[in-house]
Structure 1
């Protein structure tokens, strides 16, 4: 959970001591999937009713049954969680396109498409109907998008996804490329609006290809990990030796190096503590950095939060990362397949989960001098 979105501590102070409240806010809530629960898919509430059961058995609800089958396949698909969330928004017409924002009475919205400058932006126009999108579909997958203009965009997408499911063996890569192209169009649209980038079909194809490669690399990595699970190493870690946790292949041409630091300071007189985290990209845009105050109950927990923040912020900016940290305990926890420190266990799980969306990640133990840029940012944030 993003700590910036958590309840303000002033709400808690009245019920607990400051130390108790800080301990509560320092607890990391993992973003992993929760356990399955039994539910009835033919009512909005998920609870069974006699009426819904009758219509289900009578065959009147056959269309709903087909929808249910589609969603079952959809949620089980081995794709990035962000892609599932993105597609869900498309199917529910919930993406913040210009027409949707105007319908919600958001003031100051320009209805014109930022890429073609000639028509109003709708979901179908953005993803399929405008000329730049049609060129992308034709060039990347050989799809003549104009032939589907009579369909709602949601049905057009579902038809292709259902086709790929039926021909899974021969269309597995096409399914990934199809979803990746939708995502790339949306990402580039946002680049044009919020970063002033010039519309460029080649940029869309580059984004789509990059994310297709990431997903396929992640799948291969997971297959290897599953095949070798019985042969996992349980190395004896030495704090004085070189420490590194690595996944993936460094062959990527775009690997960024980040330094991270988590500061944690306890006031001996008041017995209270405070923490900050920071990261900085040392070989790219000098503005790629972040620093903030957090709730953490130890130095290693603050450092783990710093690494989590760094890889989450950089998740869609680079396919590969080298992260430098001066904390040995976090590296040890990352390298271990068993719980080594309950204080950071859930944070480590989220780090590993997000790391699977990268082609390559390496987390290296270095000396304090090498992370001084991040340490300076964290110190400034703590004093602010």
Structure 2
């Protein structure tokens, strides 16, 4: 529903009018949660940590332990669950609207208390959640011209990734750019990866010159070698950036993967599953610029290995 889209957009950008947000913007109000008076009313607190929200999630249909992994930012937690339900159930699955309706019910219950003085309990919030779910199905029952359906492969807007590892929720230790550089006039290609370590703020890059039959093959090989490098250096949580949509789609949908890189994709999946948290994300060329420049250097100079 449009109101849910706006609500999720505000949640993701930390734009809802929590007490903590209003206080930080200069309003002369307390930033304490009005319902429990135990902590600042941030999105993290309202939707994950506040006692009523914790019980609601745990006892609900989804059985989410919202107060676990509290070192994960609320926005990352939100997106992780949205993508998890989309990946598991598809765009028209049942769990994604239940998840959004639960967030919506928590916020509506909070506003009823703040603006109308209506004290909320578990039964009240559940009633609001159920109302949201019913409104969702009513909206879906409208003529198809009023419902903007998503392509089966598009995913939520702006987010195309393949996820591997033991955990779906988490945050990366390092961001790794990967890229391949190839020209049709030669079988030589350059591959490179550039790693930004979050805790130490250190950047390092490596690459090599290889034989590759296509640009896609070079890109896939760069991704594979980056994962092998990350695993060998003890990294357990990594975010990999690539500007190759075909690579990510091939990793997401094994049945339709390009035959030319099928073996490489299988190797990427095998190694990816050995991480605790591994996400390979399609991004713009700008976000892999350093890896692109290094890969081009490798291809032109035919240097077998380089680090900085």
Alignment TM-score, normalising by the size of structure 1: 0.36
| Larger gyration radius, structure 1 or structure 2 | 1
